[in-house]
Homo-oligomer: A and B are copies of this chain.
Amino acid sequence: MGKRQGYGQFCPISRASELLANRWTPLVVRELYFGSTRFAELRRGLPRMSSALLAQRLNELEHAGIVIAEPADTGAGHFYRLTEAGRALFPVLESMGRWAQTHSRDDLTRAENLDPDLLMWNIRRRVSDDSMPEDSCFAVSFHFLGVPASRSYFWLLFRDGETEVCLRDPGYKIALAVTSHIRTLTRVWLGHLKLEAAIRKRELLLEGDRRHVLAFPRWFPVSLLAASDVGDAR
């Protein structure tokens, strides 16, 4: 009876809404699209989502043909991947992102949305897509202002062509130390502020070998959804 379900309309927007207009669902698809495959990875990108709801959403999406869950050959659990129909949802996510970047820009970096864990996790995911020198093995430290003390230090560890986020000093050589307010680096990530401008304005401090200082802007990534129009980025 009151069973909440479809909208009973033939309109294609209605059909798409049956899938996407549910709490967390677009963000689950986003995580899968951006490359997470394991339950734990998804949770890390969706820290405020309960594990029960994530499991439920993955089921719904699998049932709808958006996600396919293959049992992990190694160990327990599954690999969750988008099907072709799932990847075809990207234009929806992209247009949502583009809308918010132009019509809700300042809301993105309101205090309650700043999250250093999430930022580092996203940076790592984009860095490892790009090509870093495979032979070198070093760490870059990040020190954030404007966050709780327990969340103010992070390290990116580059080793064997892999990139890892560490919450403690990994003990490798610190090639570069990055210091900024969490909002500054988030705005750089979102394309609201050019990295070079943040450095020039001394909102972002780089300390280390001249070589690594100069290399940093070349490998430091921005979001796939970064604004191309960079507001007050001069």
**A contact set with B: CB distance below 8 Å:** 4, 6-17, 20-27, 30, 47-48, 65, 85, 88-89, 91-104, 107-109, 112-115, 118-119, 122, 186, 189-190, 223, 225
Q: In this complex, what residue of B is CB-closest to A5?
A: B112
Q: Which of B88, B91, B99, B113 contacts A89 (CB 8 A)?
A: B99
Q: In the bound complex, do residue B85 and residue A91 qualify as a contact, i.e. CB atoms below 8 Å apart?
A: no
Q: In the bound complex, do residue B10 and residue A21 qualify as a contact, i.e. CB atoms below 8 Å apart?
A: no
Q: In the bound complex, do residue B13 and residue A113 qualify as a contact, i.e. CB atoms below 8 Å apart?
A: no
Q: In this complex, what residue of B is CB-closest to A103?
A: B85
Q: In the bound complex, do residue A10 and residue B225 qualify as a contact, i.e. CB atoms below 8 Å apart?
A: no
Q: A8-B113, A10-B115 known; A108 and B190 CB under 8 Å? A: no
State the CA gap A23–B18 with chains docked (Å): 8
Chain B residues lying within 8 Å of A8, measured Cβ to Cβ, are 47-48, 112-113, 115
Q: In the bound complex, do residue B115 and residue A16 qualify as a contact, i.e. CB atoms below 8 Å apart?
A: no
State the CA gap A53–B114 with chains docked (Å): 31
State the CA gap A96–B88 with chains docked (Å): 10
CB pairs A–B below 8 angstroms (30 shown): A6-B113, A7-B27, A10-B114, A10-B118, A10-B119, A10-B186, A11-B225, A12-B99, A12-B100, A12-B104, A12-B108, A12-B190, A13-B27, A13-B30, A13-B96, A14-B27, A15-B100, A15-B113, A16-B26, A16-B100, A16-B104, A17-B24, A20-B96, A21-B23, A21-B24, A21-B25, A88-B102, A91-B99, A92-B92, A94-B95
State the CA gap A21–B96 with chains docked (Å): 10
Q: In the bound complex, do residue A12 and residue B88 qualify as a contact, i.e. CB atoms below 8 Å apart?
A: no
- What's the nearest-Cβ distance from chain B to residue A128, in Å? 18
Q: In this complex, what residue of B is CB-closest to A29?
A: B13
- What's the nearest-Cβ distance from chain B to residue A186, in Å? 5
Q: In the bound complex, do residue A100 and residue B23 qualify as a contact, i.e. CB atoms below 8 Å apart?
A: no
Given contacts A8-B115, A95-B95, 17 further A-B contacts (CB under 8 A): A4-B23, A7-B27, A8-B113, A11-B108, A12-B96, A12-B99, A12-B101, A12-B104, A13-B96, A16-B96, A65-B103, A85-B103, A85-B104, A88-B102, A91-B95, A91-B99, A92-B96
- What's the nearest-Cβ distance from chain B to residue A22, in Å? 6
Q: In the bound complex, do residue B30 and residue A96 qualify as a contact, i.e. CB atoms below 8 Å apart?
A: no
